[in-house]
Structure 1
Amino acid sequence: MSKRVILHVGTPKTGTSYVQDVLYRNRTTLAAHGVLYPADRFDAQFLAALDLMRLPWGGLETEAVGEWKRLAGHVRRWPGTTIISHEILACATRAQAAQALADLGHPRTEVHVVVSARDLVRQIPAEWQENVKHRRTFTYTRFLRMIRDPERASQTASWFWGVQELPDILERWGAGLPPERIHVVTVPKPGAPHSLLWERFAATFGIGGLKLDLDVGRANPSLGAPETALLRRINVAVNALVKPADYRPLVRELLAHQTLSKRRKSPRLSVPPDVHAWAGELSQAWNKELDRRGYDIVGDLAELQPAPEAPTFSDPDHPRERQVNKAAVEAVRALLLENVRLREAEADLQRRLSETEAALRRSYLRPTYQLREKAVARLENGWVGSSVMKAYRRARGRSSPAA
């Protein structure tokens, strides 16, 4: 039974991809110091979270069947500390959270819940952008209208508040835990030292003294306003034609993450003035509630209060077409280079196949092969020889005459 379980349940867009990559790449080092990060592939804990919550996810939910049970089994058998981290756990229901804690050994095991949080003014456009990167086509204006609907009637609003409403997330996951075992890690404001967020996570996880490789490549970078506008237009054009399995590597990874995210000089996504004021009031109310509950705050609740409103708002529904065009040229360039790479790889495979076929043809023409072929034919014509060849093929694990 694990002595301690650290359960990091989100929220999205708070450095979670980076944290999970550091933990995954350093899992051998962590294990040598008594800390388990249970994952045999980088998305293992994502699949376990899908399984726990029975979430549909573009077909991946079938691959996830049984993964939570398997992960929980590893945790219960580990004698030291275990760290589990995935941001979609933030949307678990109260019943699912209680089941997860029980599966991980609560109340016999010391369980800590960690929630990382960033101010709403940065989270709102980030969530719309994530929707666009997952093939959605609705405009930013419509997205803002959906999440501000008091009824939260749409699936989009339900998901947004499920993974962003801090007091509710902490109440669902923290039920039955003392407040000192519930930790809120705040994301520093822009301009803070790059390492500060990791240092806060490491201190909360209890691994701050370990020497780990922090130079990891996987991340979930942000896009600017014109780049996100372009991606939404691409979705409108290709969603009916491109399967999810092809969209992920070509659009989300190649175009969004590897190409468009590198355009750092374009206008950033933000919120219009009325949304800024609304988010500020809501954040202030949340901070008061978190402070009242007495959770362990790693950082400063003031960091969850939005920064002053920017002087201008770049509306991604009405971007400057020149900026979108420049982003589109970068996208076309990336697709052309990828096509060249694939054509070169195809040509290399074709060359190897041709060389293999030629080698096989040469081997068939050798006298030794022809003699073996005649010998097999003679054996096949006799009862004894046929029985011998059948036994030989069974021993080889094959039944074709060519064996």
Structure 2
Amino acid sequence: MARRVYLHIGAPKTGSTYVQNVLWTNRSALRDAGFLLPGSAVAHDQAMADLRAASWRDAEVYWTWDRLAAEARGWPGDVIISNEGLGAATDAQAARAVLSLEPAEIHVIAAGRDLWRTFPSFWQQSVRARSGWRFEGFLRAVEEGRADAFWTNHTAPHMLRRWGGLVPAERRYLVTVPPAGAPHDLLWHRFAGIMGIPDGLCELAEPTSNPSLGAAEIELLRRVNLALGDSYPLRTPYQRVVHRHLVNAVLKRRVDGLRFGVGLDRAEWVRDLAEQQIKELRDYPCRIVGDLDELRPTTMRPSIGPDELDDGQLLQAAIETIVGMLGHAESLTQRTADRDHGTVLSRLKTRAAGGVRRHLRLTTRPDPES
């Protein structure tokens, strides 16, 4: 029976990729120290989608939430489950998750980031999950109170209210994301301190992030999503095709992409929202790991929205993307040719070796007349 289970529930774009990379890279060392990461990173993602009964989940997957929970319950030490999509679970889904892991001692960890950086990252993640709405349309929806999904899926106060009420206050944590320029390992040490992972147990490489796309790249992807129609409606096919061959292979690799964000005309509005969020979290009974002041926007620079790009900028980005995809296709073709060539050589070697063995058997067979 598990002793403690640490549920890291999100939010997306709060350094979760870095923390998860450290966890999975050091999985063996953590296991030897008594910490189990059940399944795999893919297993955590599949189990999250199953728990949430998400419309985009793939029905035929190996890892359901019940399977992941069963493996967690069977471990005699501490268990870590980390997926930034868990925070968007409903009250009933969160209750089911916690109940499935009892009688272990459940701890809930959420992370928060300042809204100036969160707004564009949320919209970008939604586009990378196949959405087709415009950035300006999203911001206007937030202003008009029509963006419940944003507050539900991407902000710590809402996540903690759904999940935190299922565990005692001393087992609820809010980790604040350090500001730009802070030591890269500070966020890891905040998480590790909660889970009791000793300093020095895990090797910390330079953080590998989930890089943001530039204004032209994300607008191009948004328009591709609209043009796809009914193609690749589920998570896994979309990731295998669109993410693999367009986002990861080409768009992420484009250099000097034009950064985008909230315009300075909305700066005061964002500041007011941040103060409301900080007050809400200060009044909520949980353990703050970091500093709530880090949720207050500090660097608010002028930026352009993807909607503001002209057709010439998008055409240039599209042409360069096509060139990049041609290079990607060529590398895949060469890889396939090399693999096929290797398979042929392997078969020829096997046949040759078989022929040698048969020849030896014939030439070394005892003479029946001797």
| Superposition TM-score, scaled by structure 1 size | 0.78
Cα gap change, 1:355 to 1:71, in 2 (>3 Å): closer
1:21 paired residue number = 21
- Cα distance per residue 1:320-371 (max 9 Å; x no partner): 5565455434422321122112222343455567779999999xxxxx9xxx
Q: Quick check: 1:328 aligned with 2:325?
A: no
Query: How far apart in 2 are the matches of 1:266 and 1:361?
Result: 53
Asked if residue 46 in structure 1 is aligned to residue 36 in structure 2, the reply is no
Q: Which residue of 2 aligns with 1:10?
A: 10
The answer to whether the 8 A contact 1:9-1:85 is kept is: yes
| Paired letter, 2:256 | K
Are 1:225 and 1:266, in contact at CA under 8 Å, matched by a contact in 2? Answer: yes
CA distance in 2, matches of 1:201, 1:213: 15
Offset at residue 53 of structure 1 (A): 1.7
Partner of 2:283: 292
Secondary structure of 1:145's aligned partner = helix
1:129 aligns with 2:108: no
Q: 1:261-318 deviations in whole A, cap 9, x for unaligned?
A: 34453332211235432232122112112112232111110111122532x2302112
1:175 and 2:169 are equivalent in the alignment = no
Q: Structure 1 residues 337 and 226, CA, compared in 2 at 3 Å: closer, same or farther?
A: same
Contact 1:5-1:104 within 8 A present in 2 as well: yes
Name 1:88's counterpart in structure 2.
Answer: 85
SS in 1 for 2:307: coil
Stretch deviating more after TM superposition (295-304 or 227-236): 227-236
Answer yes or no: is the 8 Å Cα contact 1:11–1:90 preserved in 2: yes
Following the alignment from structure 2 to structure 1, what is the Cα–Cα distance between the partners of residues 206 and 223? Answer: 31
Q: How many equivalent residue pairs?
A: 354
The alignment-based identity, stated in percent, is 39
What SS does the aligned partner of 2:10 have?
A: coil
Is contact 2:90-2:162 (8 Å) kept? yes
Cα gap change, 1:137/1:176 in structure 2, threshold over 3 Å: closer, same or farther?
closer
Name the structure 2 match of 1:185: 175
Tell me by how many angstroms 1:63 deviates. 1.5
The CA distance in 2 between the partners of 1:326 and 1:196, in whole Å, is 39
Q: Tell me if structure 2 keeps the 8 A contact 1:3–1:109.
A: yes
* Correspondent of 1:319 among 309, 317, 321: 309
Note if contact 1:226-1:320 (Cα within 8 Å) is conserved in structure 2. no
CA distance, structure 1, for counterparts of residue 289 and residue 55 of structure 2: 33
Q: Is the 8 A contact 1:179 1:293 kept in 2?
A: no
- Which stretch of the first structure deviates more once superposed, 4-13 or 170-179? 170-179
Pick closer, same or farther for the CA change 1:112–1:360 going to 2, 3 Å.
closer
- 1:1-400 equivalences under 5 Å are 1-39=1-39, 41-57=40-56, 59-63=57-61, 67-105=64-102, 108-150=103-145, 152=146, 157-215=147-205, 219-239=209-229, 247-263=238-254, 265-310=256-301, 312-319=302-309, 323-348=313-338, 351=341
Bigger drift between 211-220 and 69-78 goes to 211-220
What do the CA deviations read for 1:20-42 (whole angstroms, capped 9, x no partner)? 22212221111100001112x33
Specify every segment of 5 or more residues in structure 1 that has no aligned partner in the other structure, as ranges: 363-367, 369-403
- Structure 2 gaps of 5+ residues are 353-357, 359-370
> CA distance change for structure 1 residues 291 and 5 in 2, over 3 Å: closer, same or farther?
same
Q: What SS does the corresponding residue of 1:115 show, helix, strand or coil?
A: strand
| SS state at 1:43 partner | helix
Whether contact under 8 Å (1:50, 1:61) holds in the other structure is no
TM-score, normalization: structure 2? 0.84
Helix, strand or coil at the partner of 2:308: coil
In the alignment, the residues of structure 2 paired with residue 319 and residue 242 of structure 1 have an alpha-carbon distance, to the nearest angstrom, of: 27
Partner of 1:400: none
Question: Which of these two proteins has the greater Rg computed from alpha carbons?
Answer: 1
Question: What CA distance in whole angstroms lies between the structure 2 residues aligned with 1:243 and 1:175?
Answer: 34
CA distance in 1, matches of 2:20, 2:70: 20
Task: Name the CA distance, whole Å, in 1 between partners of 2:204 and 2:246.
Answer: 25
Question: Taking structure 1 as reference, are residues 61 and 120 closer, same or farther at Cα in structure 2, changes over 3 Å only?
Answer: farther
The answer as to whether partners of 1:266 and 1:323 remain within 8 angstroms in 2 is no
Q: Helix, strand or coil: the match of 1:60?
A: coil
